[in-house]
Amino acid sequence: MRVDVSLIPGEVAAKDVSNAAVVVIDVLRASSTVTTALANSCEEVIPAESIEEAITLASGYSRPDYVLGGERRGLAVDGFDLGNSPGEYSEARVAGKKVILATTNGTRAVKQYGGAREIVVACFLNAGAVLHMLATAEDRDVLLLCAGQDGRFSIEDALCAGLYASELAQLSGAALSDSARAAAAIYEHRRGSIEDALTESEHGTYLASIGFLDDVRYCARQSVLDVIPKVYDRRVIRRARLGPGES
């Protein structure tokens, strides 16, 4: 197994992902929100690339069956049911429903890699479950895709990619690309202070300034949700956790 990291989204266009699991990481906050919604029994998350697309998608469903969520500049969109705060995606709000979600960077990244062998959504919250799945399918490569911020590098996504790269090297003896080694080094440097690193990050600081410090702290929690969000036919569903040897 070879593990590569795309530290910014545009970098991955040139890569062949036909035998790879693409792991989309947007720690603050889209990946964390998707993972939380699925942990709270939403039926599926339908990612939208724009507010307009989300509204069009919603028009195809009847009202009790879906919730419409999303953000612009971190704040809930006017007329939408929910923003992009993981805490809003409680069981009471989302169980049994479709979640149509439009975020600035994360949901766009989810829709980019249709040619991949498998696409999953990952963050710190579900690291244990996703790592277990990746480590037990050693016949394919792994591309950790950092969603970043408006095409730019985000330290929180690199830290999370570094955790995955570092663990896969240890668990499966995976070979790391240069960018995977760089991400792993960043993670090793901050592994004891992930919450502080997220709070100090540019987007973490911004989220705190608009009242979402609790979200940042929540998104720093590691391996607390046993959920593997898998992209299937442009939807994100909860993948069953498989035993050793299954993939």
Q: How far is the CB of 140 from ligand MLT (least distance, A)?
A: 27
Q: Cβ closer to ligand MLT: 107 or 166?
A: 107
Query: Residue 181 is encoded by which pair of tokens?
Result: 């080694």
Residue 157 is a binding residue for ligand MLT (CB under 6 A): no
Of the pair 84, 126, the CB lying nearest ligand MLT is at 84
Residue 88 in contact with ligand MLT, rule: CB under 6 A? no
How many angstroms separate the Cα of 223 from the Cα of each of 124, 127, 130, 152, 226? 6, 5, 9, 26, 7
> Taking a C-beta distance cutoff of 8 angstroms, is the pair 203, 30 a contact?
no
Q: Rule CB under 6 A: say whether 28 interacts with ligand MLT.
A: yes
The only residue of 29, 97, 98, 239 in contact with ligand MLT, by rule CB under 6 A: 29
71 binds ligand MLT (CB under 6 A): yes
Q: Is 84 in the site for ligand MLT (CB under 6 A)?
A: yes
Q: What is the rounded distance in angstroms from the CA atom of residue 69 to the CA atom of residue 25?
A: 19
Considering only residues 202 through 221, tell me which ones interact with ligand MLT, judged by CB under 6 A: 207
Q: Is 106 in the site for ligand MLT (CB under 6 A)?
A: yes
Q: Residue 93: is it exposed, middle or buried by C-beta count within 10 angstroms (0-12/13-18/19+)?
A: middle
Q: Which is nearer to ligand MLT, 106 or 162 (CB)?
A: 106
Shortest spacing between CB 241 and ligand MLT, in angstroms: 25
Strands across the sheet containing 118-122: 75-76, 66-72, 98-102, 44-48, 235-239, 228-232, 118-122, 20-25, 141-146, 2-6, 175-176
26 scored as a contact of ligand MLT (CB under 6 A): yes
Question: Least distance to ligand MLT from the beta carbon of 26, Å?
Answer: 5
Nearest to 28 by CA among 94, 105, 81, 126: 105
Which listed range, 4-12, 44-52, 98-106, 238-246, lies at the site for ligand MLT (CB under 6 A)?
Answer: 98-106
30 interacts with ligand MLT by CB under 6 A: yes
Q: Does 34 bind ligand MLT (CB under 6 A)?
A: no
Number of residues forming the site for ligand MLT (CB under 6 A): 12
84: which residues sit within 8 A by CB, 6+ positions away?
29, 30, 33, 69, 70, 71, 74, 76, 101, 103
Please identify which residue in the block is written with the tokens 């923003």: 83
